[in-house]
Structure 1
Amino acid sequence: MLMAAITHAQQINYVKGKVIDKKDKQPIIGASVVIIDKDKRVIKGVSTDIDGNYSLPVADKTYRISVSYIGYKSTTGVAIDRPVINFQLESENNQMEEVQIVSRAKAATGSGMVIDKRDQTSSTVTIDAKELEDMQAASIDQALQGRMAGVDITASTGDPGAPMQIRIRGTSSINGATDPLIVLDGMPYDITIPSDFDFATSDENNYGQLLNIAPSDIKEISVLKDAAATAVWGSRGANGVLVITTKRGSIGPPAISYNFKGSYSKQPSPIPMLNGNQYSSLILEEFYNAGRQFSTTEFAKEFQYDKNDPYNYYNYSNNTDWLAAITRVGYLQDHNLSISGGGEKARYRASVNYFNQNGTTIGTDLNRISARVNLDYVVSEKIRFTSDFAYTHIDQNALYNPLGGRDRIRETAYTKMPNQSLYEYDEYGNLTDNFFSPAATAQGAYSATFNPLAMASAGINHQLGERITPKFSLQYKIIPELIFNGSFLVNINNTKVKTFLPQIATGRPFTESVVNTAFDQDGDSFTMNTSMNLAYSPTLGPKHNLIAFLRFDSEDSRRASQYLLATNTASSFLTDPSVDSRTNLSNSTSSAFNQSRSVGLLATAQYKFLDRYIINAGIRGDGNSKFGAGNRYGVFPSISTRWRISGEPFMKRTDKYIDDFSLRASYGKSGNAPRYDYTFYNIYQNYGFSYLGNAGVYSTNLELSNLKWETVTQSNVGITLNMFKRLYIDFDLYRKRTTDLFYEDLAVPTYNGYSTVDMNVGTMDNQGWEFNVTGTVMKSQKFRWDMSFNIAHNENVIREVSPLYPRENKGRVTQNNVYKVFVQENNPFGSFYGFKFKGVYKDKNSTIAVDENGNQIVGPNGDKVYMRFAYPSIDYVFQPGDAIYEDINHDGNIDYKDIVYLGNGNPKITGGFGTAFTINGNLKLSVNFSFRTGYDIINGTKISTTNMYSFNNQSTAVLRRWKKEGDETDMPRAIYGGGYNFLGSDRYIEDGSFVRLRSLGLKYDFAKNLMKRIGMKSISANVIVENILTFTKYTGQDPEVPIKLNGSNTVVDNSTTPPIKTVTLGLTANF
Structure 2
Amino acid sequence: MTKKYTYSIFILLCCLLLSSIASAQQINYVKGKVIDKKDRQPIIGASVTIVDKDRRVMKGVSTDIDGNYSLPVNDKTYRIMVSYIGYKSTAPLAIDKAVINFQLESADNQMEEVQIVSRAKTDNGSGMSIDKRDQTSAVGTINAKELEDMQAASIDQALQGRLAGLDIAASSGDPGAPMQIRIRGTSSINGAVDPLIVVDGMPYDITIPSDFNFATSDENNYGQLLNIAPSDIKDISVLKDAAATAVWGSRAANGVLVINTKRGVLGPPSISYNFKGSYSKQPSAIPMLTGNQYSSLILEEFYNAGRQFATSDFAKQFQYDRNDPYNYYNYSNNTNWLESITRIGYLQDHNLSISGGGEKAKYRASVNYFNQNGTTVGTSLGRLSARVNLDYTVSTKIRFSADIAYTHIDNKNLYPSGSRDANVRDVAYTKMPNQAVYEYDEYGNITSNYFSPATTAQGGFVYDFANSRVLGTYNPLAMALAASNQQLGERIIPKFSLQYQIIPDKLRLNANFQADINNTKVKKFLPQVATGRPFSEAVVNYAGDSDGDSFTMATNITLAYTPTLGKNHDLITFARFDSNDSRRTGQGMFATNTASSFLADPSIDGRTNQTGSAYSSFSQSRSVGLLVSAQYKFMDRYIVNGGVRGDGNSKFGPNNRYGLFPSASVLWRISGEPFMKNTTKYIDNLALRASYGVVGNAPRNDYSYFNTYQNYGFSYLGSSGVYPSNIELSDLRWEKVTQSNVGLTVVLLKNSLNMDIDVYRKRTTDLFYNGIAIPTYNGYSGVDMNVGTMDNQGWEFSLFYTPVKSKKLRIDVNFNISHNENMIREISPLVPRENNARITTNNAFKVYLQENNPFGSFYGFKFKGVYVDKNSTIALDENGNQIVGPNGQQIFMRFAYPSIDYVFQPGDAMYEDINHDGNIDYKDIVYLGNGNPNLTGGFGTAITFNGNLRLGANFTYRTGYQIINGTKINTTSMYGFNNQSTAVLRRWRAEGDITDIPRATYATGYNFLGSDRYVEDGSYLRLRSITLKYDFSKNLLRRIGVRGLSANIMMENILTFTKYTGQDPEVPVKLSTFSTVVDNSTTPPIKTITLGLTANF
Q: Indicate whether 1:155 and 2:170 are aligned.
A: yes
Match of 1:556 among 581, 588, 594: 581
Q: Is the Cα contact below 8 Å between 1:363 and 1:397 reproduced in 2?
A: yes
2-side partners of 1:316 and 1:1058: how far apart?
Answer: 30
Q: Indicate whether 1:96 and 2:122 are aligned.
A: no
Structure 2 partner of 1:422: 437
Secondary structure of the corresponding residue to residue 1085 of structure 2? coil
Structure 2 partner of 1:889: 915
2-side partners of 1:403 and 1:254: how far apart?
Answer: 48
Q: CA deviation at 1:205?
A: 3.0
Q: Indicate whether 1:463 and 2:494 are aligned.
A: no
How has the CA–CA distance of structure 1 residues 145 and 31 changed in structure 2, closer, same or farther, with 3 Å as cutoff?
Answer: farther
Instruction: Tell me which moved more, 193-202 or 941-950.
Output: 193-202
Q: Is the Cα contact below 8 Å between 1:44 and 1:56 reproduced in 2?
A: no
Match of 2:343 among 328, 334, 338: 328
Q: Indicate whether 1:712 and 2:737 are aligned.
A: yes
2-side partners of 1:284 and 1:553: how far apart?
Answer: 69
Match of 2:242 among 227, 230, 237: 227
Secondary structure of the corresponding residue to residue 429 of structure 1? coil
What letter corresponds to residue 614 of structure 2 in structure 1? T
Q: Indicate whether 1:105 and 2:125 are aligned.
A: yes
Q: Is the Cα contact below 8 Å between 2:624 and 2:649 reproduced in 1?
A: yes
Deviation string for 1:289-335 (max 9, x for gaps)? Answer: 11101125622331121112211111000000000000000000000
Match of 1:802 among 809, 828, 851: 828
Secondary structure of the corresponding residue to residue 332 of structure 2? coil
Deviation string for 1:741-763 (max 9, x for gaps)? Answer: 01233344566555543211211
Structure 2 partner of 1:183: 198
Deviation string for 1:191-232 (max 9, x for gaps)? Answer: 111322479963333221311011101111111101111111
Q: What runs of 5+ residues in structure 1 fail to find an aligned partner?
A: 22-27, 107-111
Structure 2 partner of 1:25: none
Instruction: Tell me which moved more, 1023-1032 or 698-707.
Output: 698-707
2-side partners of 1:304 and 1:359: how far apart?
Answer: 38
Q: CA deviation at 1:852?
A: 1.6
Q: How does 1:18-167 map to 2 (within 5 A)?
A: 34-44=49-59, 59=73, 61-64=76-79, 79=94, 96-97=118-119, 99-100=121-122, 104-106=124-126, 112-167=127-182
Match of 1:509 among 506, 510, 534: 534
Structure 1 partner of 2:8: none
Q: How does 1:511-910 map to 2 (within 5 A)?
A: 511-583=536-608, 585-685=610-710, 697-724=722-749, 725-748=751-774, 754=780, 756-807=782-833, 813-910=839-936
Structure 2 partner of 1:109: none
Q: Indicate whether 1:282 and 2:306 are aligned.
A: no
2-side partners of 1:962 and 1:617: how far apart?
Answer: 68
Q: CA deviation at 1:863?
A: 1.2
How has the CA–CA distance of structure 1 residues 925 and 853 changed in structure 2, closer, same or farther, with 3 Å as cutoff?
Answer: same
Structure 2 partner of 1:1002: 1028
2-side partners of 1:996 and 1:498: how far apart?
Answer: 36
Q: Is the Cα contact below 8 Å between 1:71 and 1:95 reproduced in 2?
A: no
1-side partners of 2:594 and 2:262: how far apart?
Answer: 50
Q: How many residues were matched structurally?
A: 1054
Q: Is the Cα contact below 8 Å between 2:29 and 2:70 reproduced in 1?
A: no
Q: CA deviation at 1:1053?
A: 0.3
Instruction: Tell me which moved more, 506-515 or 801-810.
Output: 801-810
Q: CA deviation at 1:58?
A: 8.2
How has the CA–CA distance of structure 1 residues 372 and 833 changed in structure 2, closer, same or farther, with 3 Å as cutoff?
Answer: same
How has the CA–CA distance of structure 1 residues 403 and 116 changed in structure 2, closer, same or farther, with 3 Å as cutoff?
Answer: closer
Q: Indicate whether 1:452 and 2:472 are aligned.
A: no
Q: Indicate whether 1:436 and 2:456 are aligned.
A: no
Structure 2 partner of 1:24: none
Q: CA deviation at 1:96?
A: 2.9
Q: CA deviation at 1:93?
A: 9.1
Q: CA deviation at 1:268?
A: 0.3
2-side partners of 1:508 and 1:6: how far apart?
Answer: 93
Structure 1 partner of 2:6: none
Q: Is the Cα contact below 8 Å between 2:536 and 2:609 reproduced in 1?
A: no
Structure 1 partner of 2:466: none
The sequence identity of aligned pairs, in percent, is 73
2-side partners of 1:16 and 1:681: how far apart?
Answer: 75
Instruction: Tell me which moved more, 808-817 or 61-70.
Output: 61-70
What letter corresponds to residue 1004 of structure 1 in structure 2? Y
Instruction: Tell me which moved more, 832-841 or 270-279.
Output: 832-841
1-side partners of 2:826 and 2:496: how far apart?
Answer: 46
Q: CA deviation at 1:702?
A: 3.1
Q: How does 1:1028-1047 map to 2 (within 5 A)?
A: 1028-1047=1054-1073
Q: How does 1:1049-1060 map to 2 (within 5 A)?
A: 1049-1060=1075-1086
Q: CA deviation at 1:395?
A: 1.2
1-side partners of 2:932 and 2:770: how far apart?
Answer: 22
Q: CA deviation at 1:1047?
A: 3.3
Q: How does 1:379-390 map to 2 (within 5 A)?
A: 379-390=394-405
Secondary structure of the corresponding residue to residue 226 of structure 2? helix
- Give the greater-gyration-radius structure (CA): 2
How has the CA–CA distance of structure 1 residues 812 and 898 changed in structure 2, closer, same or farther, with 3 Å as cutoff?
Answer: farther
Q: Is the Cα contact below 8 Å between 1:71 and 1:92 reproduced in 2?
A: no
Structure 2 partner of 1:206: 221
How has the CA–CA distance of structure 1 residues 901 and 251 changed in structure 2, closer, same or farther, with 3 Å as cutoff?
Answer: same
2-side partners of 1:649 and 1:14: how far apart?
Answer: 58
After TM superposition, the score normalised by the length of structure 1 is: 0.94
What letter corresponds to residue 922 of structure 1 in structure 2? N
1-side partners of 2:577 and 2:302: how far apart?
Answer: 71
RMSD: 3.0
Deviation string for 1:488-522 (max 9, x for gaps)? Answer: 11111111111111111111111111000011011
Q: Is the Cα contact below 8 Å between 1:766 and 1:795 reproduced in 2?
A: yes
What letter corresponds to residue 829 of structure 1 in structure 2? F
Q: Indicate whether 1:359 and 2:374 are aligned.
A: yes
Instruction: Tell me which moved more, 859-868 or 181-190.
Output: 859-868
Q: CA deviation at 1:476?
A: 0.9
How has the CA–CA distance of structure 1 residues 346 and 993 changed in structure 2, closer, same or farther, with 3 Å as cutoff?
Answer: same
Match of 1:262 among 259, 277, 284: 277
What letter corresponds to residue 271 of structure 2 in structure 1? I
Q: Is the Cα contact below 8 Å between 2:122 and 2:129 reproduced in 1?
A: yes
Q: Is the Cα contact below 8 Å between 1:236 and 1:672 reproduced in 2?
A: yes
What letter corresponds to residue 976 of structure 1 in structure 2? Y
Q: Is the Cα contact below 8 Å between 2:662 and 2:694 reproduced in 1?
A: yes
How has the CA–CA distance of structure 1 residues 45 and 730 changed in structure 2, closer, same or farther, with 3 Å as cutoff?
Answer: farther
Structure 2 partner of 1:391: 406
How has the CA–CA distance of structure 1 residues 862 and 322 changed in structure 2, closer, same or farther, with 3 Å as cutoff?
Answer: same
Secondary structure of the corresponding residue to residue 1038 of structure 2? helix
Instruction: Tell me which moved more, 289-298 or 831-840.
Output: 289-298
Deviation string for 1:1015-1040 (max 9, x for gaps)? Answer: 21110000001001000000001000
Secondary structure of the corresponding residue to residue 232 of structure 1? helix
Q: What runs of 5+ residues in structure 2 fail to find an aligned partner?
A: 1-15, 463-471
1-side partners of 2:803 and 2:70: how far apart?
Answer: 39
2-side partners of 1:332 and 1:804: how far apart?
Answer: 51
Match of 1:347 among 362, 387, 391: 362
Structure 1 partner of 2:503: 479
Deviation string for 1:69-101 (max 9, x for gaps)? Answer: 999999966656696889999968996356356
Q: CA deviation at 1:455?
A: 0.3
Q: Is the Cα contact below 8 Å between 2:431 and 2:978 reproduced in 1?
A: yes
Instruction: Tell me which moved more, 401-410 or 287-296.
Output: 401-410
Q: Indicate whether 1:1026 and 2:1052 are aligned.
A: yes
